[in-house]
Amino acid sequence: MNPYLVFILAVILIGYILDLIISIVNLRSLDPRLPGEFIDVLDGQQYAKSQNYTRTKTTFSMIKETATTVFIIAFILIGGFNWADGLARGFELGPIATGLIFTAILLLFMTLAGMPFSIYATFVIEERFGFNQTTWGTFILDFVKGIILAMSIGGPILAFMLWLFEKGGSWAWLYCWIGVVVAMMVIQLLAPVLIMPLFNKFTPLNDGKLKDLVTNYAVKEKFKIKGIYTMDGSRRSTKLNAFFTGFGRFRRIVFFDTLMEKLSTDEIVAVLAHEMGHYKLKHVFKMLAASILQMGILFFILSRFINNQGLFAAFRMDHVSLYSSLIFFGFLYSPISMLLSVIFNIFSRQHEFQADRYALISTGRPEALISALKKLSVTNLSNLTPHPLHVFLNYSHPPVLERIRVLR
């Protein structure tokens, strides 16, 4: 049997079994006793609802992962990738254009296969628990916009990569790395002003007490911002959030309109201080640098598997091609990607504690941040008692009870 096929199937199955085990132990860790820290903001009925939300989402996730795993394995074994390659080659275009068509066919096919799950999650689960605000019109429009963005941004980047690997010789991986990093930085700069407004409406924060508090805090912390905005997050969900986006003169603070409704001004400033702490402590740039390094390693290893005959035989391909190599390499890289994800999450959780500390010190109001964290958890029906293994492998943020304990 093809050793590459054995390895790929083993990786898929082991990953699936691991996710299944983690989901089961996470469900078993749900504690029916309301944590004492939340007695002042939650009653027994609300707490039971949050646990039911966790059970429902986890069960749905297990069903989705089972179907996805079966689908991917079947797609590989019946020669689905070769079928897509045959369709792409049928247009009789050059290798780069054929590669773009091949990738588009796969992405569209996978997206359509996952559409029923996305619809059920949005219009059944999120609706049942009072979160969904998305209309069918918005859902369809988001889907169309996503396809257009993938074609207009992802397409040229992929074409550029294929051209570099075709013409760049042994140093092609380095040229690709540099080119993709530059493209990524440009997208990060332009996203707040060109891409994000395609999906949401951003409105400058009205004059008033909150704007004054935010502005004064930013001045005190010597933090330059382009603007303070609210975003119509309620257009899709009732969940709360806030974030920074952009770099340099494009940097802006964004509050979900749902956050403005649920949190007091002091709590919003505390959330802002936490997000600002990530910038002040260079977390954003550290994680970005780590991602860039990871990307370089990925391209280097990829260059060693270009047009590998054994790999193509595993996917039952009739033709060897550069563009297919990029897709198939993703299966081989999956274990490394999973390991790096765990490492990234470890550092990310440390960064959250550090940003909390920055907010505590810079505002002098730990109770405001604790209160905000509680309201965010309650409103979003967060799981208050996740299993430690689930946290270790999948959480980019520490559990809220741990954050509150450290803050106190």
Catalytic residue among 65, 275, 367, 402: 275
3-state DSSP assignment of residue 30 = coil
| Cα–Cα distance, 158 to 160 (Å, whole number) | 5
127 is catalytic: no
**Is 275 tagged catalytic?**
yes
* Residue whose pair of structure tokens reads 């907010």 in the numeric block: 359
Cα separation of the two ends of the chain: 58
Q: Are the beta carbons of 321 and 85 closer than 8 angstroms?
A: yes
Which positions ≥6 away from 286 have C-beta within 8 Å? 347, 351
Do 62 and 20 meet the contact criterion of CB atoms below 8 Å apart? yes
Tokens representing residue 277 in the block: 């702490």
Do 12 and 318 contact (CB within 8 A), yes or no? no
Q: Compute CA 265 distance to the chain's CA centroid, rounded to the nearest angstrom.
A: 28
Given the residues 40, 356, 367, 402, the one annotated as active site = 356
**What is the SS3 assignment for 294?**
helix
Handedness of CA 127, 131, 137, 142 (dihedral sign): negative
Distance between CA atoms of 230 and 253, rounded to whole angstroms?
8
The catalytic site residues sit at 275, 356
